[in-house]
Structure 1
Amino acid sequence: MKSQLTCFIFLICFSLGFSQNGKILSKELINLSETSIWSKLTTNNELKPDYKHLDALNFYTITYESDGHKVNGIITEPKKEGTYPVVIFNRGGNRDYGSLTIATIIFSVSKLAEQGYVIIASNYRTQDEFGGADLNDVLNLFETIKEIDKADESKVGMFGWSRGGMMTYLALKASDKIQTAIIGNGPSNLFAEISFRPKMETLVYAQCIPNYAANKDAELKKRSAIFWADKLNKDSSLLILSGTKDKRVDPKQANIMAEELERINYDFKLMTFETDHGFRDKRDELYATTIAWFDKELKHKK
């Protein structure tokens, strides 16, 4: 009897542990004036014209649970009361390179947030698997969203850049909760990426992907949407943004992925810009394009 009771308690604890995925463990308001980028945003301690919109936003650092890991993230939301559509933002990079910071959010999606969106982003777990188990750190945010008072959990989109684009493809395959997505300069074929940038294999894939040497082909295919485009959530829509001067991800990947999506009659649009991987000289066009897409495909879509 005692052993049965012990087993029962264990099962309850085990179940409760998994039910905590996405739970916010800590949340702290960010004071922008105390951040390292404040001087870049201001003149004489006043926000420059390009950053005046930040006055309308609140930024929070969070720690949330994901498969037993404590994962860091950032929430951005309008100060004005109300409920707003949600966009999950997937950062690029790997491990500490390209890690999520308040600067990442300000320069990537703060203007989208100011137009009436809650933005939530994950820094992914410390043990980066480059699209392996760390995908759950993105998917578990659907539970985190339920704890955000201003978030309309019935309207959720996703926006991924570079490696974050790969994470977005994976999420579109794994979940039916994403109404629309934007992918910017994201790889859809990691085999092709090795040919384009051989160092990606030795410095990233081989170091991050578990059992890479023994299961190279299988693991790369798992992370390459070109091989399973027909598995993407067919109730979603997708905007692919490609910089024709991109030196990090071959722009041809966007064109080939577009051909495959057209073949399977997926709801998508490809837009190309004569710019680099980070759209450094096309930022205003990038902001306008992302806002227009999410307004049409998420905020105002019935």
Structure 2
Amino acid sequence: MNDQLRSLALVLACGLVASAALAAPAPDGTILSRSPVALPDDAPAAAHRRAEGVRLEKLVYASGGYEVEAYLAAPAEPAGAPLPCIVYNRGGNRDFGGLTPVRMAFLAGALLRRGYVVVASNYRGNGEHGAALYPPERRCAEGDGIGGAGREEFGGADVDDVLALIPLVESLPEVDAERLGLFGWSRGGMMTYLALRRTDRFRAAVVGAGVADLRGMGDERPEMIEHVYAELIPGWDDPARREKELADRSAVLWADQLPESTPILILHGTGDWRVMPRQALEMGTALLAARRPYRLMMFEGGDHGLSEYRYAVNRAVG
């Protein structure tokens, strides 16, 4: 009888271990699904031109136990050797500024012509994958465990979604994972600084119209406090935590914590009203004081997207 009980206990224990293994989340960067993406017929002709020779895929990958949407752009015809990769950090929040096939075609087309593979995250809770799991109002709610796609935190735990792209691209045979670059625009610039604070894996970084001082941005644009900070940053109702969360997202306060081995190119237009030019100037001053390698380029009268300086930006980045 004792032998039978021991055998039963062993079977149960093995079953529990197997169940736990099945329930364990996939490691960060694991590609859970991937599918080819075609541009819609009504996409701008310029987008179709940019997409020529480009293999565009939508990915769902693991990050922090969540399922996160991303896009991958690579040459349609395999290259003779693995290519360097740019991790692109989108701007905006929630659906505003979210990645779509058309936006990815415009972004990736120019970079692919310069010999890069491009991967970009929509951040947790965003994109079609997040929308399919629960509505936007739940994606903005405070609290954990609200859905398989997680929730955006405007530079909080969603920075993990950027870092999870490192093991993701390491799994791609078309990518030389020793040659990684980081590129972020607007809020994506903030995400770039936050990622660099935690890793030195990127050989270089580009920040366009980047947010480096959240308190200053809130002073200049009070609507950001009400409609973005208060809705997305955890613990906003707690004054003490609020100050910490703002400081943690403001690279101008901790430029000395960025890696010495990653040079940063900062691009900003003097006519930008979404992210004021002083953000770039003050970040440059902080990097200079911290003796971190950087280059600052200010574009006279340039708007938030530097739309009138597209070719100059492409030359600077390429």
TM-score normalised to structure 1 length: 0.87
Q: CA deviation at 1:17?
A: 2.5
Alignment of 1:7-22 (within 5 A): 8-9=17-18, 12-13=21-22, 17-18=25-26, 20-22=27-29
Q: Which residue of 2 aligns with 1:252?
A: 278
Q: Which residue of 2 aligns with 1:160?
A: 184
Structure 2 distance, partners of 1:10, 1:261, is 49
In the alignment, structure 1 segments of 5+ residues that lack a partner are 292-302
Structure 2 distance, partners of 1:36, 1:227, is 45
Structure 2 distance, partners of 1:60, 1:271, is 33
Q: Which residue of 1 aligns with 2:220?
A: 196
Q: Which residue of 2 aligns with 1:145?
A: 169
Structure 2 distance, partners of 1:169, 1:41, is 31
Q: Which residue of 1 aligns with 2:146?
A: none
Structure 2 distance, partners of 1:67, 1:36, is 36
Q: Which residue of 2 aligns with 1:104?
A: 103
Please give the per-residue CA displacement for 1:207-253, whole angstroms capped at 9, x wherever unaligned: 00011121110000010001111111221110000111001011001
Which one-letter code corresponds to 1:250 in the other structure? M
Please give the per-residue CA displacement for 1:92-141, whole angstroms capped at 9, x wherever unaligned: 00011111112222233421112210000000011110011111111101
Please give the per-residue CA displacement for 1:37-94, whole angstroms capped at 9, x wherever unaligned: 1x4338xxxx6xxx3x532221111111112211111101122323100000000000
Structure 1 distance, partners of 2:178, 2:244, is 35
Q: How many residues align?
A: 279
**Aligned Cα root-mean-square deviation (Å):** 1.8
Alignment of 1:216-227 (within 5 A): 216-227=242-253
Q: Which protein is bigger by CA-based radius of gyration?
A: 2
% identical aligned pairs: 36
Q: Secondary structure at the match of 2:274?
A: coil
Q: Which residue of 1 aligns with 2:33?
A: 26
Structure 1 distance, partners of 2:86, 2:214, is 26
Q: Which residue of 2 aligns with 1:55?
A: 52
Q: Which residue of 2 aligns with 1:295?
A: none
Structure 1 distance, partners of 2:287, 2:237, is 31
Kept in 2, the 8 Å contact 1:57–1:114? The answer is: no
Kept in 2, the 8 Å contact 1:162–1:186? The answer is: yes
Q: Which residue of 1 aligns with 2:86?
A: 87
Kept in 1, the 8 Å contact 2:259–2:292? The answer is: no
